[in-house]
Amino acid sequence: MMTRLRTYIMHVEDLPGVLNRVTSLFRRRGYNIDSLTVGRTEASGVSRMTIVMEADDDAARRVEANLYKLVNVLEVHDTTNRPCVTRELALIKVKADPTSRAHVLQLAEVFRARVIDVGPEALIFEITGARDKIDGLAGVLASYGIVEMVRTGTVAMLRSADVVEQEQPRTSAA
């Protein structure tokens, strides 16, 4: 069966150790997390995680079922087949001396990256977008020399009025 990148949105109780429980499950079952973000939500006491991992359909279903077995996990949604927007933020420090700076800035403009720091030897760009857009910018900047890069990992949200409901009754995961 084909594996592909999947994006899960999860609501979990905001308690110490919950992140550890979630990541421990992925480790134990042998699934590799591609990216994971976690932060507060509009509801108090509830954190939201976005997890991206590579899996085939069967593994994806089992991950979801296993996540539900964690007592602190409130909701799990595999958004892979639903209309949703995904964003990632990256900071990229790239070598740019006075001779190359103009070129670098031009390239960044195409990707709508913002310059947030200028130094004599390097620039720092901030870019927000879907993963492939960031990959694209990193790709073209590589030839100038990327000094360092940090990426936040993907966050995702369903489009329009489609929301990930909290605490809806769970049905069979089969």
Contacting positions for other proteins (CB under 8 A): 12-13, 17, 20-21, 24, 28, 58, 61-62, 65-66, 68-74, 167, 169-174
Shortest CB 64 distance to other proteins, Å:
9
Rounded Cα distance, 42 and 45, in Å: 9
How far is 33 from 37, CA to CA, in rounded Å?
A: 11
- Helix boundaries (H) for the chain: 18-28, 57-68, 101-110, 131-141
Q: How far is the CB of 20 from other proteins (least distance, A)?
A: 7
CB of 68 to other proteins, least distance (A): 7
> Whose Cβ is closer to other proteins: residue 112's or residue 170's?
170
To which H or E segment does residue 38 belong?
Answer: strand 33-40
Nearer to other proteins, 159 or 170 (CB): 170
